[in-house]
Amino acid sequence: MWPFSRKKQLELPDFWWSYVEHFKEKLPDGIQENTFVVLDTETTGFSLTRDRMLCIGALKLYNNNIVVKDSFEVYIEQDHYSSESAEIHGILKKSKRDRISELEALKQFLAYAKNHVLVGHHVMFDINMINAALKRNGLPKLKNKTLDTETLYIRTLLISAVVQRKERYTLDDLAKKFSISRKDRHTALGDAFITAIAFIRTIEKLKPKKLKDLLR
Amino acid sequence: MKNTISERIADFLKNYPPFNAMDSKQLDELSLEVVIIHKETNAIVFCENENPHEHFYVVNKGAVALSKEGSSQILDICDEGDVFGLRPLLANESYKLEAKAYEETILYAIPIKDFRPLALENKRIGNFLIESFASNTGNPYSIKHRGKLYGSNNQEDQFSTNKILDLQPIKYSTDLITCKEGTKIKTIANKMTKHNVSSILVEKNHMPVGIITDKDLRKKVATGLFPITGTAKTIMSSPIITYPKELTLAQSQMAMMKSNISHLVLTEDGTTDSRAVGILSKHDIMVAVGNNPAVLLRAIKRATDAKRLRSIRHGIMNLLRGYLDQNIPLGLVSKIISELNDASTKQVIQIALSKMDEAPPVKFTWLSMGSQGRGEQLLNTDQDNAIIFEDVPEEVLEKTRDYFLKLGERISKDLNTIGFEYCPADMMASSRSWCRSLSEWKEVTAHWIHNPGPEEILLSSIFFDYNVTFGDKALADELSHSIFDHANHYPQFFTHLASGALQNPSPSGFFRDFLVEQDGEHKDFFDLKLRALMPIIDAARVLILSHSIKSINNTAERYEKLAELEPNNKELYLACSYASKALLKFRTRQGLLHNDSGRYIALDKLNKEEKIKLKRTFKTVKEIQSLIEIRFQVKNLLR
């Protein structure tokens, strides 16, 4: 078995190796010293096998600052298309946006994300979507640590047996709670921005001392 | 390459000066260079004397307070769209003021190196910056640079606080609109319209000689008495009545009444022989008296949206600060502030109702609970509220509830906008458990009384301090009757309620030391609410409820009533009444000082006198706790 897998690894492209290289470095302990990559994807649907990513949006959060220029937004060329989801994200098949191939998008995303912690709302969906795309292109899975804003938000709520809590909190719920404008809902970068603000406000409530308090 | 976020930033900036003077391409490029910064309440943006940053700032959300370091007086509050931290743009000097997030704030930081070329190239932008830097005339809170507009005046003493309101100097407009004696009336009217002012000063050799007001135009020109082609000289009021610029509110009101005029001209030395420095209109006086409860109340009632109410509430906080500085009895202060809080909530409900698609299907009552219900909510703390609606047939119950839930959500969102935080436990009318029909509420409260577990006790202790803020009082009265009926049939409930009141940890330890929090976010802080206020509030509740009195919610008043009902314990009850007021005042002071809820106190920041005062109240807390322990035989319950 071994020789095969090693051979397979050797075929991985350079950009993957430079991505892996970043993980040799340990993440800083303090929250404020860490860069968080807040991301969101727009997809043609919810199926990991059938559906495809149309757009990845991400931004970097460092010490409560977001540098606008250093944000990430790519639109991806896909053959699979679903007109139902187009009603939500408004990305048409023949839209005029510049689009790049899935592989190119992944390459750029890996170079952007490095070893930073990935933050998202229902983040596993986005991660799985990206992993599915990586797999299609013959690449291994993402290696980054992840944080889900829904889980974090639920941790801020008081635990009470009598007061009923909702089971799920959507990004809309959070935007409402934190009075964040929902104007850019359902554009990947817009949702990433809402998620970033919700993330900041949530960690302010949780007051973790170290990164590992969040990741637990 | 613009992206979704930079587009949104450009969208925001284009509504505010100086960015509204840029063309969209420039703005798009600039927006891409922005850094978005989130600041939590009280986080510092920059300190006094700090070296200039590479950015200046625009408030996107929230508010930033500018002040002199070490003084609690806020010189300016920058709201949405306001620009601050411009100093490095104009002069390579360190900051002269401290900028601090007044609430949770999102800032757009604009890089100066990218902005400067635009400001140099575009005159409108440059002018705006210089003006706003020099005067901040558009901002009623701003007093920081006014002194500089007319030379030598010392700004420190012009608007110093701590004086009684009526004796405070009044803010007037320094942006003088003038004309010559020979100016045509039509030109004058155009000029006044353009600058949107109600009066214009007529000058001769730079000295004020007359004034023309809207009234003159109406009475003398529109009536045909004088032709519109005439000159200023023919219709101006002259000689003018001038006053020195250090006029107090009371003086200016007197002056206007005495001469029956609506505008005062202020000159350098108060005579007509010196330059005019400002005009004071009746409107300025109205704004100044805005710091008085009656005017604030009227302003609240006139407000048509939550945003306006929010700025009025800044005024309420100022009023509160003033009252505490002047040592006005807290009983009175809390009455006034609660009244204003109540009025704001009422207005929010009115606004929300008017925005609903239909009128309410049945009668309803809006209850304020917790501190607001007790009339003790001086600072903006959490909102706790509930809706009772009239009983409806089973089949329309859910439909009715949906209506009120929607209403509740709208109201609680607006309350949040004006500064009341959401309740972390969701005890708000926007949640299903707090939006019920009358008979449902009767059932729920009966359940709490008959099954008094710790949760139920907690809920009843929040709920039973309810107060009707809006709607039909009869519904609340009926609920109260039902609650007392159940409680009287099940006296054990009071024992449980009393044990709940004793559960809060004690304020001081064996050596009469303060007990501070051992861990968590507030390690080494003293929890004033939990360890001192709650025990005394809880004790008052159980005692007064056991006397079947529902009409009194305020803790201090409850103790006063108890002193009347039980003359043998009078002394202790009066001590409790005093302690509850003292603690509340303490908390409010702390809260205003640190712009938070005042709940946690850093003991090392207190002086000796404050510590002694606090400790004195603790003795009372312990005494009242042992009284309820014995009276309600809590020990039996613990066994």
What CA–CA distance (Å, rounded) separates B498 from B626? 11
Summarize the confidence of residues B523-544 as an average pLDDT: 83
What CA–CA distance (Å, rounded) separates B165 from B289? 8
Residue of A69, A154, A155 to mutate for B, most B C-beta atoms under 10 A: A69
Q: Report the pLDDT value the prediction gives residue B135, as an integer from 0 to 100.
A: 44
Closest residue to B425, CB basis, from A69, A73, A163: A163
Cβ contacts (< 8 Å) between A184 and chain B: which residues?
4, 8
Summarize the confidence of residues B564-585 as an average pLDDT: 89
- The yes-or-no verdict on residue B320 having pLDDT over 50 is yes
C-beta atoms of B36 and A66 within 8 A: yes
- The yes-or-no verdict on residue B12 having pLDDT over 90 is no
- The yes-or-no verdict on residue B285 having pLDDT over 80 is no
Summarize the confidence of residues B205-212 as an average pLDDT: 87
- The yes-or-no verdict on residue B509 having pLDDT over 60 is no
% chain B with pLDDT above 90: 9
**Minimum CA–CA partner of A183 in chain B:** B8
Closest residue to A69, CB basis, from B8, B32, B431: B32
Cβ contacts (< 8 Å) between B433 and chain A: which residues?
162-164
Cβ of residue B551 closer than 8 Å to a chain A Cβ: no
C-beta atoms of B38 and A207 within 8 A: no
What CA–CA distance (Å, rounded) separates B213 from B615? 61
The model's pLDDT over B14-66, given as tens digits with 9 standing for 90+, comes to: 888 788 888 888 888 889 889 999 988 888 898 888 888 888 899 988 888 88
Q: Smallest Cα–Cα separation from A116: which of A180, A151, A72?
A: A72
Cβ of residue B37 closer than 8 Å to a chain A Cβ: yes
Cβ of residue B134 closer than 8 Å to a chain A Cβ: no
| Chain B from 486 to 545: CB within 8 A of any A CB | 521
Highest-confidence range of A83-97, A139-153, A197-211, B472-486, by mean pLDDT? A139-153
- The yes-or-no verdict on residue B113 having pLDDT over 50 is yes
How many contacts does A have with B, using Cβ atoms within 8 A?
Answer: 83
Cβ contacts (< 8 Å) between B425 and chain A: which residues?
157-158, 160, 163
Cβ of residue A190 closer than 8 Å to a chain B Cβ: yes
Q: Report the pLDDT value the prediction gives residue A90, as an integer from 0 to 100.
A: 61
Summarize the confidence of residues B192-216 as an average pLDDT: 86
The alpha carbon of residue A76 is apart from the nearest alpha carbon of chain B, in Å, by 15
Of residues B575 and B311, more confidently modeled: B575
* Rg, Å, chain B Cα set: 29
Of residues B603 and A38, more confidently modeled: A38
Highest-confidence range of A90-94, A152-156, A205-209, B186-190, by mean pLDDT? B186-190
% chain A with pLDDT above 90: 36
Q: Report the pLDDT value the prediction gives residue B1, as an integer from 0 to 100.
A: 59
Q: Report the pLDDT value the prediction gives residue A113, as an integer from 0 to 100.
A: 92
Cβ of residue A204 closer than 8 Å to a chain B Cβ: yes
What CA–CA distance (Å, rounded) separates A69 from A71? 6
Give the model's confidence band at B510: pLDDT under 50 very low, under 70 low, under 90 confident, else very high. Answer: very low
- The yes-or-no verdict on residue B620 having pLDDT over 70 is yes
Alpha helices in B40-111 (DSSP H): 87-90
The model's pLDDT over A1-56, given as tens digits with 9 standing for 90+, comes to: 455 555 555 678 899 999 999 999 888 988 888 999 999 998 888 888 888 898 99
Q: Report the pLDDT value the prediction gives residue B208, as an integer from 0 to 100.
A: 86
Cβ of residue B425 closer than 8 Å to a chain A Cβ: yes
Give the model's confidence band at A129: pLDDT under 50 very low, under 70 low, under 90 confident, else very high. Answer: very high
The model's pLDDT over B116-143, given as tens digits with 9 standing for 90+, comes to: 888 777 777 776 766 665 544 333 333 3
Closest residue to A190, CB basis, from B4, B432, B456: B4
B485: CB partners within 8 A, 6+ apart: none
Q: Report the pLDDT value the prediction gives residue A156, as an integer from 0 to 100.
A: 80
Closest residue to B4, CB basis, from A66, A189, A204: A189
Of residues B581 and B327, more confidently modeled: B581
The alpha carbon of residue A65 is apart from the nearest alpha carbon of chain B, in Å, by 4
What is the ipTM metric for this complex? 0.82
Cβ of residue B416 closer than 8 Å to a chain A Cβ: yes
The alpha carbon of residue A198 is apart from the nearest alpha carbon of chain B, in Å, by 11
Q: Report the pLDDT value the prediction gives residue A9, as an integer from 0 to 100.
A: 56
DSSP 8-class letter at B635: H
Q: Report the pLDDT value the prediction gives residue B586, as an integer from 0 to 100.
A: 84
Q: Report the pLDDT value the prediction gives residue B134, as an integer from 0 to 100.
A: 53
Give the model's confidence band at B295: pLDDT under 50 very low, under 70 low, under 90 confident, else very high. Answer: confident
Q: Report the pLDDT value the prediction gives residue B152, as an integer from 0 to 100.
A: 29
Residue A31: enclosing H or E segment and its boundaries? none
pTM: 0.56
C-beta atoms of B427 and A163 within 8 A: yes
DSSP 8-class letter at B434: G
Cβ contacts (< 8 Å) between B521 and chain A: which residues?
207
Mean of the per-residue pLDDT values of chain B: 79
Using DSSP's 3-state secondary structure scheme, residue B111 falls into strand
Closest residue to A73, CB basis, from B4, B39, B61: B4
- The yes-or-no verdict on residue A58 having pLDDT over 90 is yes
Closest residue to B8, CB basis, from A64, A158, A184: A184
Highest-confidence range of A154-163, B173-182, B359-368, by mean pLDDT? B359-368
Query: Residue B88 CB: number of other CB atoms within 10 A?
Result: 19
Q: Report the pLDDT value the prediction gives residue B277, as an integer from 0 to 100.
A: 83
CB B29 within 8 A of CB B118: no
Of residues A198 and B526, more confidently modeled: A198
Summarize the confidence of residues B303-327 as an average pLDDT: 79
Summarize the confidence of residues B131-156 as an average pLDDT: 37
Please give the backbone phi and psi of residue B407, each rounded to the nearest 5 degrees, phi first: -60, -45
Highest-confidence range of A41-50, A105-114, B167-176, by mean pLDDT? A105-114
C-beta atoms of A179 and B521 within 8 A: no
Q: From its phi and psi, is residue B415 left (phi > 0), alpha (psi between -120 and 50) or beta?
A: alpha
The alpha carbon of residue B32 is apart from the nearest alpha carbon of chain A, in Å, by 5
Q: Report the pLDDT value the prediction gives residue B109, as an integer from 0 to 100.
A: 92
Q: Report the pLDDT value the prediction gives residue B165, as an integer from 0 to 100.
A: 43
Summarize the confidence of residues B593-597 as an average pLDDT: 74
Q: Smallest Cα–Cα separation from B265: which of B257, B275, B251, B250?
A: B275
The model's pLDDT over B366-387, given as tens digits with 9 standing for 90+, comes to: 998 888 888 887 776 778 889 9
**Minimum CA–CA partner of A193 in chain B:** B5
